[in-house]
Amino acid sequence: MGTKTVKTIEDIAKLANVSKSTVSRALNDSSLINPETRDRIKAIAEEHNFCMNLPARNLSRRQSCTVGFVTHSHQCGFTVEDMFGLEIMSAIGSGLDELGYDLLVIHMKPRDTSWAHQYFDSGRVDGFIMMKTGRGHAYSKLLSDMNAPFIIWGVSEPEINGCTVTGDNLSGGILATEHLIRIGRKKIAFLGGPEYDLEAQLRQKGYETAMKNAGRSIDPKLMVNGDYLLDSGIAGMKHLLEKDPDLDAVFVCGDVMAIGAIEVIQKSGRRVPEDVAVVGYDDLAIATFNNLPLTTVRQNIQMSGKLLAQNLVQSIKTGVVTHVTVPVELVVRKSA
């Protein structure tokens, strides 16, 4: 580049043969950069008359006051199955606004990791909020290795240096199952989430705990896994009814799946709740406005969203990593 004025951090990174994040940290006297590298980068910047306008300077210092909400790309727009993410994103946005931060939605493609560097190294965001996904551990490790502040809606995992907020999944599973036992149901099925999902595992453990505490045996044929999507609620309920047509209750680990399950039960000629009682999980808006209002375990989505916002901003400012479990409650409606 010769003596040409350097315009961006990326220009300096190329000259110094380091990453953009290293340049950003060096220019802001970060203790993460060794003094020799820091001095060399500063010398390059000075030699090439590098200067930043105020917005750019703030970005390099990770003071964009913007947080990235990481979600998957949607080719067909949002659907009912995205409702939990949409509801919690709204609560996060409200929480961030109170703190003077903006929310930027980042659409990531499956197996893509470039988004993390693209948004953090450039200073466009100060940190990330992620919903737990099948590849959540890999993404968490990526951000942890980058020293990027982040928070996850989901159960905390060892060796991942990020904050978490999660509902009390074990208690939720117990509450749902105990309710079905209390109203006199004898054959209580379980329609869970993905086997790898830690939240689903805890809800299943809650189901099993309540059954054992009531002296009930756990029948493997009354247990099936779904993936929180409507189709898996339909397929899972069909499977359960085929295995045991006499079941009289089902605890479903997500409201969207529960709505699919109710559809199958009713199409089979059975009545809800008279023949089969259904309890869902989450208490999404559709649980109330569904044709048959859904008994469900309420995750306090508004509180959870605000905690995600507050605890991430705290981590950005102080480096403190927190893990919070939000209480849940049973909301009884017509389906059980």
pLDDT band at 3; cut points 50, 70, 90: very low
Is residue 20 very low, low, confident or very high in pLDDT (cuts 50, 70, 90)? confident
226-245 tens-digit pLDDT: 999 999 999 999 999 999 99
Provide the pLDDT for residue 56: 52
Q: What angle do CA 27, 152, 258 make, to 5 degrees?
A: 155
How long, in residues, is the chain? 336
**Banded pLDDT at 300 (limits 50, 70, 90):** very high
264 near 234, Cβ under 8 Å?
Answer: yes
Kindly state the average pLDDT of the residues 32-55. 79
Which tens digit of pLDDT belongs to each residue from 177-226?
999 999 999 999 999 999 988 999 999 999 999 999 999 999 999 999 99
**Encoded amino acid at 194, one letter:** P
pLDDT cut 90: percent of the chain above it = 62
| Domains of the chain with CATH codes | 9-60 (1.10.260.40), 66-167+301-327 (3.40.50.2300), 169-299 (3.40.50.2300)
Q: Which residue has the tokens 């470039």?
A: 114
Joined tokens for residue 259 = 């709505």
Instruction: Return mean pLDDT, the chain.
Output: 88
Q: Please give the Cα distance from 269 to 254 (Å, whole number).
A: 23
What's the average model confidence in pLDDT over 152-181?
92
In this predicted structure, the answer to whether residue 291 has a pLDDT above a threshold of 50 is yes
What number is the average pLDDT over the span 252-268? Answer: 97
pLDDT at 72 over 80: no
Q: Give this prediction's pTM.
A: 0.79
